[in-house]
């Protein structure tokens, strides 16, 4: 009986060992979905490391509660998990990170290729604008941060106050630009918002998921078959000329630093017309920066409204 008991104990131990080993082996095989001898990970990391997300210093602002949700990659993930918006994050990140793989992807939650799933693709209610929602598929991930922090204020007795060196919709308002909102006037959403599946992701990553986030002309050619560059139908050339003209007018009026590349207003208040022109210029030239690509009609309308306002101020 004792020999039989000992034998059964050995058999049981072997079974446990085999089960444990197969479990570990299965986990290793699963991990190899991503951790293998291909460039699946290293290629994406190399491309990402060249981007502003990967090289910029803005992540250091993540220690502030008002900035953490977007400026720190770790705080962004926490914000999404908690269902918050950038303006409702209550605490800064004591150890801010750049927006790395974990900021956008669900890394090491299932230990399979499903870990590449995006943190969120839910439609984004633009928190600074009333009743405006961006619903652009996978591009919704981007819109969580690429949205304005404020809209053009209402004038009091014909004046706009509260202008500062950092006035304007704040960096990265591309979702609002695509929807045709957030400037001193409103217009219709662009075709890029309405017709391009997955919006930002389709154009900035393309079929090969290029993690440099640099859009390619090839992506444009799906709709613009004869496109040779991003200046399709001369939109960027036209917009740049309008940017230059309005910028010169604002500098001449003394409300914009002559180093307009810096995008810094030089006043704390201005008449509504001048303020709207300044705001629209900042929105297009200093914040969106696509020179009309994101929404050609709205971009030109904003700049033209600014030019008209400045002309009206100069009229006798």
Q: Which residue did the predictor score with more confidence, 287 or 263? A: 287
| pTM summary value | 0.88
How many structural domains are present in the chain?
Answer: 2
Q: Is residue 239 part of a domain?
A: yes
Percent of the chain at pLDDT exceeding 90: 77
Are residue 256 and residue 300 in the same domain, yes or no? yes
Closest CA to 94 of 76, 72, 78, 79: 72
Assess contact for 288 and 294: CB atoms under 8 A. yes
Q: How far apart are CA 54 and CA 174, in angstroms?
A: 19
Are residue 174 and residue 72 in the same domain, yes or no? no
Percent of the chain at pLDDT exceeding 70: 90
Are residue 105 and residue 161 in the same domain, yes or no? no
Is pLDDT of 92 > 90? yes
**Digit-coded pLDDT (tens) for 210-229:** 999 999 899 999 999 999 99
Are residue 89 and residue 155 in the same domain, yes or no? no
**Digit-coded pLDDT (tens) for 9-68:** 554 554 444 445 555 555 556 788 888 889 989 999 999 999 999 998 999 999 999 999
Are residue 175 and residue 305 in the same domain, yes or no? yes
**Digit-coded pLDDT (tens) for 293-308:** 999 999 999 999 999 9
Give residue 160's domain range: 124-314
Are residue 159 and residue 295 in the same domain, yes or no? yes
- Find all residues with CB under 8 Å of 283, minimum gap 6, and list them: 168, 169, 173, 177, 182, 183, 302
């Amino acid at each position: 009986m004792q020999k039989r008991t000992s034998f059964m104990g050995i058999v049981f131990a072997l079974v446990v060992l085999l089960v444990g080993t197969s479990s570990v082996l299965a986990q290793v095989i699963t991990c190899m979905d991503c951790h293998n001898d291909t460039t699946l990970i290293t290629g994406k990391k190399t491309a990402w490391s060249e981007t502003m997300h990967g090289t910029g210093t803005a992540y250091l602002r993540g220690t502030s509660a008002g900035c953490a949700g977007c400026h720190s990659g770790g705080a962004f993930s926490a914000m999404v998990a908690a269902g918050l918006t950038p303006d409702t994050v209550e605490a800064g990140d004591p150890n801010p990170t750049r927006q790395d793989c974990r900021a956008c992807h669900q890394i090491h939650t299932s230990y399979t290729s499903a870990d590449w799933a995006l943190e969120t693709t839910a439609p984004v209610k633009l928190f600074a604008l009333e009743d405006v929602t961006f619903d652009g598929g996978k591009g919704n991930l981007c819109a969580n941060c690429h949205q304005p922090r404020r809209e053009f204020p209402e004038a009091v007795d014909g004046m706009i106050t509260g202008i500062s060196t950092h006035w304007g919709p704040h960096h990265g308002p591309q979702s609002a630009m695509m929807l045709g909102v957030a400037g001193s006037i409103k217009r219709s959403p662009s075709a890029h918002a309405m017709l391009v599946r997955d919006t930002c992701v389709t154009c900035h990553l393309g079929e090969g998921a290029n993690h440099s986030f640099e859009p390619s002309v090839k992506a444009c050619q799906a709709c613009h078959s004869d496109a040779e560059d991003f200046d399709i139908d001369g939109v960027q050339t036209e917009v740049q000329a309008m940017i230059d003209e309005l910028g010169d007018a604002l500098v001449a009026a003394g409300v914009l630093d002559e180093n307009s590349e810096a995008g810094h207003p030089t006043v704390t208040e201005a008449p509504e017309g001048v303020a709207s022109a300044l705001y629209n210029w900042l929105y297009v030239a200093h914040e969106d920066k696509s020179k009309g690509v994101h929404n050609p009609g709205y971009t030109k309308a904003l700049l033209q409204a600014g030019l008209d306002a400045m002309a009206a101020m100069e009229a006798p």
